Chains A and B, each alone.
Chain A
Amino acid sequence: MSDEAQPLGAAPAGPRPAFGLIVAVAIFAALALVPLVSGVWGGGWLTSLAIRAMIFAIVAISLDLLLGHGGLVSFGHSAFVAIGAYATGIMITEGVYEMALILPVAIGAAALFAVAIGAVAMRTSGVSFIMITLAFGQMVYFALGSLAQYGADDGLTLWSAPDVFGTSWLASETGVYVTVLGVLVATWALVHAVVGSRFGRVLRAARQNPTRVAAMGYSVTRYRLVAYVIAGVIAALAGVLWAVHAEFVSPSLGSWQRSGDLIVMVVLGGMATRNGALIGALFFVLIEEALSSITHDWRLIFGPMLVLIALFARGGLAGLLDRVQGPR
């Protein structure tokens, strides 16, 4: 077994930029229509579902930067979501309602954590990297569960929505919806800008052959660490949004099962593809909701579905989409 296993669907991003862009714009447009549709059908359930799907999509896209483009299989990514969510929850509980203060704290905490554990984790590779990120994720999970004054294992309810520069923009569901959609589009655009940049090329080259990239004079560790911090900060931002949306945070946000779900979303959608993580996360949340409305035992259907996708749909759902579009 080699340490640098080739991820499935490892085609470089954007061999057909136009098609990928059209798909993304179509998805974002459909998401933008959801609040309008919910006025006629679905109501709060529909917007809430869409918000949940979008927040997961933000985290999944950030994880794909590590997983797909960087070849760094982080099994502790949900820890960053939990850090962002808890930064929000704790500050609101302590009477700080201003987003302009909460956001820098959440981002700063996530960045610090990413630098600290990233510096240790980057010393390892392959399966050791998977396990060491899991270890740090579990430490965050248990640490949050020990915060007695902030609800410990039971979690923390946010009794008030944060202000945005003194306005109550995030107090309405529409405000939250627009914000989450905006962050999703921005994340998508940012990650693709990063991947397409010189930085992204070095990162992807280091996935395929770290020795050679190092021989060319690049510090592989430094590039990977920067990618790790970027992904961690984006995930923490999603955590902030989660806290605002759910008005409740708990350690389970950072559980290893959640990190596993995130990996499944990215692989399901297709790693290192233009829209794979986005499609994977939306599909995961929607199919879970759809199947669980049909039957309580929805996992009997979902489980084999994952197996079949892993066995037969190389490149995930985005790969299927490419095949539908015809051979290259």
Chain B
Amino acid sequence: MSTTLILIQVLNGLQLGVILFLIAAGLTLVFGVMGFINLAHGVQYMLGAYLAVWLYGATGSFIAAFLLALPLALVLGLVLEFLVFRHLYARDHLSQVLATFGVILFLNQLVEVIFGPAALTVEVPQFLDWSFELVPGLLYPAYRVALIVAGLLVAAALWYVITRTRVGMLIRAGATNPEMVSALGVNVRQLFLVVFGFGAMLAGLAGVLAAPVFSVEPGMGDDLLIVAFVVIIIGGAGSIRGAFVAALLVGLVDTLGRTLVTDGLRLAMDASAANQIGPAIASMLIYVLMALVLFWRPEGLFAAKVTR
């Protein structure tokens, strides 16, 4: 296993981690602040990717598609909040699961009806369609580097909003103790709306950024949603910092695991057996990680909630 290969895998892991962070950031706030289990959050990511497909096709400019997709993703999130989710905040978790599951089924199918069941691809925008030479002889696509940088910039901006602004203070307070915030005269309903729209937009942003890298297809958000839940459980519900650390951790463990586990097993057993078992063990790693975290620190690595 050469160092360059590991370097590439680290970059791929960061790329997955950044996408996961953008999805998990909204999810962890919605979950931490409102106690709302939103299974349909992965759908927002899918909608973002399809918005990118549609707007890129219509405008011919990735930048324009990017700038138009964000407000549209926000509007779609707010429409869903208005129609369905706001009626569920006071309900138990299982009603939320049932309703948001229904939303997933509906929107996945709607997207399939409009865009067809086949996977679509978005071309990498021309100004980023070139490669970095990381080390002599090793090229890495510029778009993927841009994706990582964009994700890190968003993370920095989020950190600023959450820790340095009044809204961020309210969100943090809400994640720690929503009843107290409400009792102090903050309009929690409005706060929820802000958090929700914000989260939907971030997931949409993840979709737009991921569209040129992953294939765009109905249901693309479902598996990532489960991984995003793994991220917020590891990071601690309601904690943006936790989501960031855990997203990068999960991204790296998952990506590096896929090559390292198989290679490691080859040392212990014959190659064909290692090739069979390796991927299965690698797929399990993030869940093993989550189980360990839940076992030793049930509240996650960076818990936002006050422990009573």
Contacts and interface: CB of A to CB of B under 8 A. Distances in A.
Contact of B94 (A1, A8, A257, A306): A8
B167 interface: no
A271 B92 CA distance: 12
Contact of A142 (B99, B103, B273, B280): B280
A307 B96 CA distance: 9
B105 A306 contact: yes
Contacts of A297: 109, 112-113
A139 B84 contact: no
B91 interface: yes
A202 interface: no
Interface stretch (A36-44, A234-242, A260-268): A260-268
A299 to B, nearest CB: 4
A304 interface: yes
A38 to B, nearest CB: 29
Chain B interface size range = 35 or more
B101 interface: yes
Interface in A118-172: 120, 123-124, 127-128, 130-132, 134-136, 138-139, 142-143, 145-146, 148, 152
B290 interface: yes
A135 B291 contact: yes
Interface in A1-15: 1, 5-8
A231 interface: no
Contact of B222 (A127, A134, A148, A257): A257
Given A302-B105, A307-B84, A7 B99 contact: no
Interface string B71-115: 000000000000010011001111111110111111111101100
B288 interface: yes
Given A123-B298, A124-B295, A152-B276, 8 more contacts: A128-B233, A130-B93, A132-B294, A135-B294, A260-B101, A304-B102, A306-B102, A311-B84
Interface of A: 1, 5-8, 67, 73, 120, 123-124, 127-128, 130-132, 134-136, 138-139, 142-143, 145-146, 148, 152, 256-257, 260, 263-264, 267-268, 271, 297-300, 302-307, 309-311
Sorted from nearest, which 7 A-B pairs have the closest CB atoms?
A1-B35, A303-B106, A146-B280, A306-B102, A310-B99, A303-B105, A299-B109
